[in-house]
Amino acid sequence: MPPENGEIYVEFVVQGAFVKVTAIDPKTGDEASVMGPSGASRAALSDAAVRKLRYVQQKKTGGARPPPST
C-alpha cells in the first residue's frame, strides 16, 4: 500500500552500542540520519531523526516550512 500524505518511514539499524536511525520521506526521497546509544528510547531517537529530516527539507526550500504532516 502506498504511504499516505505526511507519512515518514523510520529505520533503526543497531551497530554495536549505537543505533543509526534514518527518517525517510517517501514522497520526496529526502532522508536524514542520527546516531544514538542503543539504550535510548526508540521514540526519542525517532523524534530526533524526524526533526532533522524536517530541518533538511526546510533548508532545501530556502527556509520555507514544509507542509505539516497529518
> Looking at this protein, which amino acid is placed at residue 15?
Q
Tell whether pTM > 0.85. no
CA atoms within a 13 Å half-sphere pointing along the CA-CB vector of 49: 26
Q: Of 43, 57, 3, 30, whose CA–CA distance to 66 is shortest?
A: 57
Give DSSP secondary structure letters for 31-43: EEEEEEETTS-HH
Which residue bears the cell 504532516?
69
pLDDT given at position 65: 64
**Residue stretches of the chain with pLDDT short of 70:** 1-5, 64-70
Rounded Cα distance between 20 and 1, Å, is 26
The pLDDT assigned to 45 comes to 97
